[in-house]
Amino acid sequence: MSNTTATRKPRRFLPVGVLLFLLFLLALVLHTVFDRVTPYTSEATLQAPVVGVAPNVSGTIIAVSVKDNQTVHAGDRLFRIDPLRFEAALKQAEANLSDAVQRVGASTAALSAAAAKVSDANAGLTNERAQTGRILQLAARDDASRAQADVARAKVVTAEAAVQAAEANLEEARRRLGPTNEDNPQIKLALAQYQRARIDLDDTDVKAPIDGRVTNTVLAPGQYASAGHTVATIVDTEAGWVVANLPENTLGNIKVGDPVLITFNVAPGRILDGRVASMASGVSQSVAAALEGPLPYVTQRRQWLREVQRIPVRIELLHQADIPTFRVGSRANVVVVTDKAGFVASLGRAWLKVVSIADYVF
């Protein structure tokens, strides 16, 4: 019995070091495959147009119609500047125009009314063009219907026709001055002053230029607003996108239009759909150069070891309404699903699901 035990060969096991090395190689291969066909990054943030609202005229604010973090629509009043001196300037301009017109035998009422209609028609056209541009952008992302886009285009055409009609009426009123006086410099000067005074009076009523949310803004009656200086800020909540910084060695298989899986830290456990809209053509090598030039700057995470350059990739959300809480700068995690992903795509989704659930804690 002892001889049999002595002659039995001992079992051989792989050394622990070899086993760990094989596991390391397997992990490295999987990491490389995932990076090439389903690139992932946690360095992604929500971005959106941030519009500063500055009045065209200076004056004391007498009424405020909004508060911080309030949702507004284009055309909603934000605040009103004291109009008294602008009303006085308009009356003076009307008087100057009346005096100039009477000197050449023209009708003050007809000319001033025609000029007012031109100003109103131009204001209406500007507003319709802004609204139409926004609706067309939404329609391009399938966030607005074609019918809405067609209605918006029709409104622009109508507004353009209104401007043409108003200008024709103004031209007719000018022609009534007679062939020898229609280019009278006194009339031109008085008419220009009248139109400017009317525009300044209209500008005392400051309105929202876009749909969005008022943020980081403190307005109060009695506050002095200076022309050209921002006194309110609006975040365009209908035009958000995600900027993801991806290592450039993972961009080889990414194409514009590739689907993207997105999870926001503010909504743990929820995965949203997006698509690759574009990739930056370059990045700045310093913060100072980025501030002075047009290229973005990507912060380096480590200084002691050279790392792969990361390139900003712009990602559009398929449905803006899916964004849980719209805050510019909100952190997100993304996985780009390339056309070479195959079965790895499901693994990428599973990994992102795990990451999103971890957001409950971290």
257 burial (CB, 10 Å; 0-12 / 13-18 / 19+) is exposed
Query: Counting Cβ atoms within 10 Å, is residue 85 exposed (0-12), middle (13-18) or buried (19+)?
Result: middle
Amino acid identity, residue 334?
Answer: V
pTM above 0.95?
Answer: no
> One digit per residue, pLDDT tens: the chain, 362 residues?
445 545 555 555 557 777 777 777 776 766 677 778 889 998 999 998 888 999 999 999 999 999 988 999 988 999 999 999 999 999 999 999 888 777 766 555 666 778 888 888 888 888 888 877 777 777 777 666 677 777 778 888 888 888 888 888 887 777 765 544 556 777 788 888 999 999 999 999 999 988 899 988 888 999 999 999 999 999 988 888 999 999 888 888 899 999 999 999 888 888 899 999 999 887 776 554 444 556 566 666 555 555 678 889 999 998 877 787 788 888 999 999 998 888 888 888 888 888 888 877 76
The tokens for 242 are 């995600």
Please report the pLDDT score of residue 108 as a whole number: 58
Residues 6+ apart with CB under 8 A from 177: 101, 104, 105, 106, 184, 187
Bridge partners of 241, per DSSP, are 47, 316
Residue 155: phi, psi to the nearest 5? -65, -35
Could you tell me the two tokens for 188? 């031109």
CA–CA dist 335, 352 (Å, integer): 7
| C-alpha–C-alpha distance, residues 98 and 291, integer Å | 52
In a 10 Å sphere around its CB, with 0-12 CB exposed, 13-18 middle and 19+ buried, how is residue 316 labelled?
middle
Dihedral sign computed on CA atoms, order 282, 285, 286, 289: negative
The pLDDT, as a whole number, for residue 314 is: 93
The pLDDT, as a whole number, for residue 180 is 44
Cα(206)–Cα(76) distance, integer angstroms: 9
Distance between CA atoms of 105 and 87, rounded to whole angstroms? 26
- Listed residue (356, 298, 302, 303) closest to 331, CA to CA: 356
Alpha-carbon distance values, 170 to 64, 101, 175, 198 (Å): 36, 14, 9, 16
β 272-279/259-264 pair status: antiparallel
